[in-house]
Amino acid sequence: MLMAMAFDEIEFRHLRALMAVAEEGSFIGAADLLGFSQAAISQQIAGLESAVGQRLFDRPGGPRPVTLTPAGRLLLKHAGAVANRMATAEQEMTDLASGTAGRLTIGTYQSVSVQLLPALVREMRDAAPDLGIHLVEHDYNNELVEDLLAGEIDVAFLTGPYEDSRLAISELGVDPFVVVLPTGGPLAQLHRGKTFPTRELLGVPMVGQHQGGDQSTIDKALRTTGVTPDDVFRSNDNGAVQGMVRAGMGPAIMPLLAVDTSDPGIAVRSLDPPLEPRTILIAVPAGTTPMPAASRFMRIAKTECRKRLARAAR
């Protein structure tokens, strides 16, 4: 009570000395365990004792080992806990730095989720097996951006063109709209070439999605080429859409990335004139350092998309 009781002048150095002395049973042992001179340890312990206001070791003198006082035992317990905590902190920091552990939340939207994202996630898993990867899907850019800025998600795919000064955005490539036809149907028979005249869709009943992110873009784009969309069936499930096309309900306009091209029942054609293509963007919050895992994921996405996606024609 009379002492200054300056508990907060304690530094880790002191705790390390405490632990070393307690373990070695001597100041000298602690000294060369820590690579200091004996005097240094003596001073560190003395400083610690004055900081806490009580003796921490009994020094019997002679060759007998120093022993902890009750106060010493108490403080040592806490020192050990603190040291542990710092060790796990170090572990987690390196994990975080290497992007190999922790939790990465990725924001995504429909068409990206189908083929592109699974491939990227698989690659990320290989690169960082201990990383927990979580996905959040939204229909619209602004929902994704909102979550991104709120810190709910660490990195997000967006639909381009899109601008937001609060985000750091990279373009991954373009995802052209294609027409999907039933293999045996008359339209597929008629246009066996690579492209499909967009105007042929005029008046044709089509299969589409419910009014959402993709579909709005498609409808708008179709109208600019003079075609008024006329959907006989709508589903947000890509498999269902493709199934309907296969069953002959009509053609569908889909982002290429959303199409399961391995399906033998359907044919995929580019449109001529093409619909204004969407670009695939990937974004993190600007100004703030992203999680290394997020950066890493972006890098993977970029290199992977360079192979898979067409580059934007500038």
To DNA, the closest distance from the beta carbon of 107 in angstroms equals 24
Is residue 37 near DNA by the rule CB under 7 A? yes
Interface with DNA (CB under 7 A), residue from 3, 11, 84, 186? 11
Is residue 166 near DNA by the rule CB under 7 A? no
Lookup result for tokens 């939204």: 138
To a second copy, the closest distance from the beta carbon of 141 in angstroms equals 23
Is residue 178 near DNA by the rule CB under 7 A? no
Interface with a second copy (CB under 8 A), residue from 290, 302, 304, 312? 290
CA atoms within a 13 Å half-sphere pointing along the CA-CB vector of 22:
19
Site string for a second copy, 20-59 (x = CB under 8 A): --------------------------------xxxx--x-
Q: How far apart are CA 159 and CA 1, in angstroms?
A: 66
Which listed option, DNA, a second copy, none, makes contact with residue 136 (CB within 5 to 8 Å by class)? none
Range in contact with DNA (rule: CB under 7 A) among 55-63, 205-213, 242-250, 291-299: 55-63
Residue 114 CB coordination number (10 Å) = 17
Q: Please give the residues from 89 up to 108 whose contact with a second copy meets the rule CB under 8 A.
A: 89-90, 92-94, 96-98
To a second copy, the closest distance from the beta carbon of 134 in angstroms equals 15
Q: How far apart are CA 106 and CA 135, in angstroms?
A: 5
Identify any residues that bridge with 297 across adjacent strands, giving them in sequence order: none
Is residue 13 near DNA by the rule CB under 7 A? yes
Interface with a second copy (CB under 8 A), residue from 37, 60, 135, 223? 60
Cis peptide before 161 (omega within 30 of 0): yes
CB-based burial, 148-185: b 16+ in 10 Å, e otherwise: beeeebbbbbbbbebebeebbbbbbbbbbbbbbbbeeb
Q: How far apart are CA 228 and CA 201, in angstroms?
A: 9
Is residue 298 near a second copy by the rule CB under 8 A? no
Dihedral, CA of residue 205, residue 211, residue 215 and residue 218, to nearest 10: 70
Is residue 60 near DNA by the rule CB under 7 A? yes
To DNA, the closest distance from the beta carbon of 170 in angstroms equals 20
Instruction: Measure CA of the first residue to CA of the last residue in the chain; give whole Å.
Output: 76
Interface with a second copy (CB under 8 A), residue from 28, 33, 40, 71? 71
Number of residues that bind a second copy (CB under 8 A): 41
Is residue 53 near DNA by the rule CB under 7 A? no
CA angle 244/263/247 to nearest 5° reads: 25
Q: How far apart are CA 74 and CA 78, in angstroms?
A: 7
- Give the footprint of a second copy on this chain (CB under 8 A): 1, 5, 7-8, 10-13, 16, 52-55, 58, 60, 67, 69-71, 74-75, 78, 81-82, 85-86, 88-90, 92-94, 96-98, 287-292
